[in-house]
Structure 1
Amino acid sequence: MTRTAVAGLTALLLGMALTALAAASEPVPPAGDLPSERTDLDGKDLARVRSVTKPTVNFTKAERFEAMSGGAATTRATVNADVFSQFSANLTFAEEDDFKLGNALFRKVWVSAPSSTQASDGLGPLFNSRACQNCHLKDGRGRPPEGAVNEANTMFFRLARPPRTDAEREAVAAHRLPNLPDPVYGGQLQDLAVSGLKPEGKMRITYTEEQVTLRGGETVSLRRPAYGVDGLAYGPLDPETTLSPRVTPQMIGLGLVQAIHEADILANADPDDRDGDGISGRAQIARDPKTGALVLGRFGWKAQNPSIRVQTADAFAGDIGISTPDAPRPHGDCTEAQADCLAMPTGVQPRLGDTEAPDPILDLVTFYSENLAVPARRGAGTAAVLAGKKVFYESGCVTCHRPKFVTRRDAANTAHAFQLIWPYSDFLLHDMGEGLADGQAVGVATGREWRTPPLWGIGLTKTVSNHTFFLHDGRARTLTEAILWHGGEAEKARNTFADLDKPDRDALITFLESL
């Protein structure tokens, strides 16, 4: 495809997205049309589920099945650096084979086109990584580049600007676009490029230390980051473009999260804070790219993605520059302003398909991502963990970090169906205060809102990822620092933690480390 053709196609697709509302014959359905009741259960089972998922008030012993964080899909594999890379324990033998094929493709290293290895070329031309595994090392949590680790493979900048025209505002309001990319650099800063092309720039992070004193006189130093870009190769960013730093999240339990019924997530939403508890979780709304229907967003730091498949296709295109049937963008995140990028060859091979990663590559990588198992809890019934669990509940943490759900009986993957799971998240958007704000709106999420991240597996971060950096940008070096950065709706719980006696604070951390 020629540069002119690619530029024309890019313009056409953007124009279609921005003018679709004016041309549409059907009205946009309201977010309130999302299901408010479970339809997969009869009355008896629904009552049972409500009883089982109610937060406990008994902290003298572990709850039934509490150690099985992912239900029957939980892995009991040896706890080591590979524990996040195990498959759901209840897969069939045939599904295990698909998982292993997906794993191989997840680790596949892509190369630039043209190449003699035609089934593997098409990288970039601008990109952040050559393989999914390079961003999601051992399927664990990413980290900011610093010290001896100076590559930014597991952290990147999302770029976005506010809408300016009526068409742009209408497209965002109708959930046809989550936000608007930078007109030159696109939706993501690409710090790598194929030979003959300049990378877009390099992430710059500086930190200042701020001291916080806890009850009893203990002092904790928090590091406040400031972000910028060095070596912009294609001119300045748009003056209104915001930089949103994101570390790659851990991959475990995604299929189970996808199997939670929408009604159970929406039941915890309280956008107007009608109960007056200061917590006003909001549902993210996305548009299904195939059906056009409004659906619940639940994946990504701002819950912008409605499914694992959508997130996987976007990552192929945006992170690696590889086109798939669901995101047929062979030049990745190149924009019309980057003529040299659009002039580069792609890896599309007509004899293999219309995209660089034709079916069944996307199917298999999606299946792999859906079935990375959650490890079993450690020490859930010990006195130290139970004491910390009590503090966690009484401090108000469970208001957003909802302990448990029962997945839908009619889940597409039977391994995920009707399982009692313990993710410790409500999967809603919450205002986390100015300290954690990135200033970037995504869908209905404001620049101060983030999705509550699930906590399962958080205590294994050091084991799997060899670090203990937390939050969306890895600024927190410990779980204590992560808690102390909570603001906005979580400020009351944060202040309660800071005012605890040291033994109670330590107990809460012990509980988190058991997850």
Structure 2
Amino acid sequence: MYKVFLACLPVAVAFALPALIAAQTATPAPADWSGLRDVHLDIVPRTEEEAARIAAVTALTDDFSAAQPFEQNSGGAATVRARNNADAFSQPSANLSFEEELDFRVGNGLFRRLWVSPPASTIASDGLGPLYNARSCQRCHLKDGRGHPPEGPQDSAVSMFLRISIPGGSPMDEIAGYIATQADPNYGTQLQDFSLPGHAAEYSLGIAYEETLVELSGGETARLRAPVYTAEDLGYGPLHPEAMLSPRVAPQMIGLGLLEAIPVEDILAHADPEDADGNGISGRPQVVWSLVHDQPMLGRFGHKAGNPTVLEQSAGAFAGDIGISSPLHPNGWGECTPAQTNCRQALDGADPEQDGVEIDRVGLDLVTFYSQNLAVPARRDVDDPEVLRGKEVFNTSGCVACHVPSYVTHRLQGDTAQSFQLIWPYTDLLLHDMGEGLADNRPEGRADGREWRTAPLWGIGMTETVSGHTYFLHDGRARNLLEAILWHGGEAQSARDQVVEMPPEDRAALIRFLESL
């Protein structure tokens, strides 16, 4: 249905593109972005006529009297109806074939699998640890939704951990702008707070908050909580004196395959690292090394876009979060460092029947397929007058300069669920300076200590339904959508200040719009 709509759309259709991002969409890619290849190998090139139709349908609107065509279907033909329960993010793409849905179900089983310590009665489930953050993917991404910081001393930090690195290491000459870092000699690149018997856990997470009052227009106020993170109860000696820690909460899982299918050139079209158009927005592409394709590629996944593909994101999580080896990360000890000798010498779950690793390529591909095809729920109340007013506030306040509303994915041979879909993720997948308040002061790839990838907003209004909370941002410090907005700084400072100063009814409409996504 959506493919028919795009194919029949007249070239002359004109949704006015505000000057806000007009220059961004015409920005040529500088030399250090050249050669960035797309994730997919089976792309059908666009014709000039098709590109013109796509540009028209994805241009920003200046008509807020009604919803745009197909706007309620955030994931195109893959969209599913919005369920009013915790399973809303756990549905397969609506356009999967019967056979593909079976693969999705098997992948779901592997995603939910509780791994156990080796040796075990079955080779299919052993290999956990020795150090880990969770026993399954589902334990962090509960119901495929967002994680959260611990809520009091009795709550586990199972869906949150600290990344760690130190300055230095070998620069990656193949990637322009790469900021060299290296693993902490005792603790590696990720701190694990669980361990198998006979092994010490690396740490326990400590968080202290300090609240500040923010005055808003109309006599309204909000309170922001600024966190301080500490690595306590260290199991393997002190951290390196230059150790840089960065908190990470597990993100929601929906729509990942669609984000992977957005053409590289469509993402780079919004990049403006020197702010050539003078609008204060300087989005930069993250470029990272792909283990699968053995070359630099555009980073898309993770809070700092540190992975180029869903496959690599999945394999990295198996190794770092659960201690499970795969063809991409074949070490049976997971994240254990050379200094953790007992950990490296422990029995692992690798088996010749699984190609000498704990999850083989077949299993990894099934988990990846599951992750790529978690469907985006349909939007709610797209024609509600307050939602439409909130959409206008979102656009005119400049939020769309980073949270780009829509794209059309690649046309792919084989007609996969992600092929040629009009989608509404509300992200540019680029790195932006978010100000000192959100800075973790830890570089990753080309991202410096103040930069974060623009988070997709689709599904954000269903967070409480799925996850039972409303914690947002990379570390869950924001307790609601308004707090998340008020933490924006750096390139987003102007948009944030407009939200503070706008009439209260416009601010309420903006939140109502976000809740409809």
> Is the pair's TM-score, using the shorter chain for normalization, greater than 0.5?
yes
- State the secondary structure of the residue aligned to 2:182: coil
Describe the superposition over 1:419-461 as per-residue Cα deviations: whole angstroms up to 9, x where unpaired.
0000000000000000000011000000000000000000000
Report what 1:279 is aligned to.
281
**Aligned counterparts of 1:357 and 1:504: Cα–Cα separation in 2:** 51
Contact 2:274 2:282 in 1 (8 A): yes
Moved over 4 A (4+): 170-178
Displacement of 1:353 in angstroms is 2.2
Report what 2:5 is aligned to.
none
Report what 1:132 is aligned to.
137
Contact 1:176 1:287 in 2 (8 A): no
Report what 1:69 is aligned to.
74
Report what 1:107 is aligned to.
112
Superposition map of 1:489-508 within 5 A: 489-508=491-510
Percent of pairs with identical residues: 56
User: Out of 293, 296, 305, which is 1:291 matched to?
Assistant: 293
Superposition map of 1:21-170 within 5 A: 30-34=32-36, 40-147=45-152, 150-163=155-168, 168-170=170-172
Distance 1:412 1:126, change over 3 A: farther
Across the aligned residues of Structure 1 and Structure 2, the Cα RMSD in angstroms comes to 1.7
Distance 1:191 1:35, change over 3 A: closer
Contact 1:172 1:443 in 2 (8 A): no
**Aligned counterparts of 1:217 and 1:243: Cα–Cα separation in 2:** 37
Contact 1:172 1:178 in 2 (8 A): no
Distance 1:411 1:130, change over 3 A: farther
Report what 1:402 is aligned to.
404
Displacement of 1:176 in angstroms is 9.1
Q: Does 263-272 or 404-413 show the bigger shift?
A: 404-413
Gaps of 5+ in 2: 1-30
Distance 1:241 1:172, change over 3 A: farther
**Aligned counterparts of 1:194 and 1:419: Cα–Cα separation in 2:** 45
Distance 1:328 1:142, change over 3 A: same
**Aligned counterparts of 2:413 and 2:370: Cα–Cα separation in 1:** 16
Displacement of 1:291 in angstroms is 3.0
**Aligned counterparts of 1:176 and 1:226: Cα–Cα separation in 2:** 27
Q: Which amino acid aligns with 1:223?
A: R
Superposition map of 1:463-474 within 5 A: 463-474=465-476
Superposition map of 1:256-271 within 5 A: 256-271=258-273
Q: Which amino acid aligns with 1:103?
A: N
Report what 1:441 is aligned to.
443
Report what 2:24 is aligned to.
none
Displacement of 1:179 in angstroms is 3.5
Describe the superposition over 1:109-157 as per-residue Cα deviations: whole angstroms up to 9, x where unpaired.
0001112222211100000000000010000001001227621111110
- State the secondary structure of the residue aligned to 1:279: coil
- State the secondary structure of the residue aligned to 1:356: coil
**Aligned counterparts of 1:149 and 1:507: Cα–Cα separation in 2:** 37
**Aligned counterparts of 1:270 and 1:97: Cα–Cα separation in 2:** 43
Contact 2:171 2:179 in 1 (8 A): no
Contact 1:70 1:256 in 2 (8 A): yes
Displacement of 1:352 in angstroms is 3.2
Displacement of 1:413 in angstroms is 6.4
**Aligned counterparts of 1:173 and 1:238: Cα–Cα separation in 2:** 27
Q: Does 407-416 or 289-298 show the bigger shift?
A: 407-416
Q: Which amino acid aligns with 1:339?
A: T
Q: Which amino acid aligns with 2:56?
A: S
Q: Does 224-233 or 404-413 show the bigger shift?
A: 404-413
- State the secondary structure of the residue aligned to 2:100: helix
Distance 1:339 1:153, change over 3 A: same
Describe the superposition over 1:377-435 as per-residue Cα deviations: whole angstroms up to 9, x where unpaired.
00001111101111111111001000000001127761111100000000000000000
Report what 1:307 is aligned to.
309
Report what 1:220 is aligned to.
222
Report what 1:244 is aligned to.
246
Displacement of 1:369 in angstroms is 0.1
Displacement of 1:55 in angstroms is 0.6
Distance 1:478 1:412, change over 3 A: farther
User: Out of 323, 326, 336, which is 1:321 matched to?
Assistant: 323
Contact 2:178 2:445 in 1 (8 A): no
Contact 1:31 1:294 in 2 (8 A): no
Q: Does 304-313 or 404-413 show the bigger shift?
A: 404-413
**Aligned counterparts of 2:172 and 2:88: Cα–Cα separation in 1:** 45
**Aligned counterparts of 2:221 and 2:179: Cα–Cα separation in 1:** 44
Distance 1:134 1:171, change over 3 A: farther
Q: Which amino acid aligns with 2:465?
A: T
**Aligned counterparts of 2:414 and 2:133: Cα–Cα separation in 1:** 32
User: Out of 505, 514, 517, which is 1:512 matched to?
Assistant: 514
User: Out of 349, 352, 355, which is 1:353 matched to?
Assistant: 355
Displacement of 1:78 in angstroms is 2.6
Contact 2:178 2:446 in 1 (8 A): no
